[in-house]
Chains A and B, each alone.
Chain A
Amino acid sequence: GEDVEQSLFLSVREGDSSVINCTYTDSSSTYLYWYKQEPGAGLQLLTYIFSNMDMKQDQRLTVLLNKKDKHLSLRIADTQTGDSAIYFCAESLTSSASKIIFGSGTRLSIRP
C-alpha cells in the first residue's frame, strides 16, 4: 500500500539541529520530497532526493535516505525561528501515474 508516516510535533532549541523523520511503504517511489508550509500559506518545496541516492546536502539542510528501511530524514542545522513551520515528507510513485503521496506533516517549534 501507499503510506507515508511522520511524527506530528518536534520542539528544538534555537541554534540546535532539528531532525525530522519519515517512513514510507512503497518501494517504487522515485523521488522523495520535503515541503515546508508556513502559517496560512501553501506548500513550498525545500529539497528532494532521487531514490538511488543516500544523501543530499543543501546549505543548512541534509537529507538522508535509507532505502532498505524506507526511512527518510531531514536535518536542519542551526535551527532559527524562521524555520518554525510544518514539514511534509512526500513520495512520488512510478507505480501510480504521477501521484504524490504526502505524510501528515511535522510541526516544528523553536524554543528560545
Chain B
Amino acid sequence: NAGVTQTPKFRVLKTGQSMTLLCAQDMNHEYMYWYRQDPGMGLRLIHYSVGEGTTAKGEVPDGYNVSRLKKQNFLLGLESAAPSQTSVYFCASSYRAGTEAFFGQGTRLTVV
C-alpha cells in the first residue's frame, strides 16, 4: 500500500539547471498538491490539480510548472533553478475537496 510516493528523495542542482519532481499516488485521488516547506514558514502551496488534465496556481507558483497528464501522477518542474528554491518539497493528494490530504515523504532540494 504505497500511498503517495515522491522521487527523488534528495537532489543537488546548480543554479540554472532544470529538473522534474515526480509524485505518484495509488489511491485514485482527484486532487493533488505541491507544497514547499521552509523553516518558520510552514507549508506553502505551489500548484495544485483538481483532476486529470487540470492545474492551478497556488500561493507561490513563480519559477515552477506542473503537469497532470495522468490521474495518478503530478509532476513539478523547475526550468531554471535558483538558490531561493532550496527547500523541502511535499506532494499530497486527497479524494475530494476538504478531505484528508495524504503526504509523500518529501524531496530535499538544494540549489547551489
- B70-112, CB < 8 A from A: 90, 92, 94, 96-106
Residue B31 CB within 8 A of the other chain? yes
Say which one of A12-20, A58-66, A101-109 lies at the interface with B.
A101-109
Considering only residues 90-112 of chain A, those with a C-beta below 8 Å from chain B are: 92, 94, 97-105
B34 surroundings in chain A (CB, below 8 A): none
Residues of A within 8 A of B92 (CB): 43, 100
B98 lies within 8 A of A92 (CB): yes
Q: Which A residues are CB-close (under 8 A) to B42?
A: 4, 88, 102-105
**In the complex, are the beta carbons of B40 and A30 less than 8 A apart?**
no
Query: B21 in the interface, Cβ–Cβ < 8 Å?
Result: no
Among candidates B40, B100, B105, residue contacting A48 with C-beta atoms closer than 8 Å: B100
Question: B residues engaging A (CB < 8 A)?
Answer: 4, 31, 33, 35, 40-45, 48, 50, 56, 58, 90, 92, 94, 96-106
Given contacts A45-B101, A99-B48, A105-B42, 13 further A-B contacts (CB under 8 A): A4-B42, A33-B100, A41-B105, A42-B4, A45-B100, A48-B100, A97-B56, A98-B50, A98-B96, A98-B98, A100-B45, A103-B42, A104-B41
- The 6 closest A-B CB pairs, nearest first, are A42-B103, A104-B42, A98-B97, A102-B43, A92-B98, A43-B103
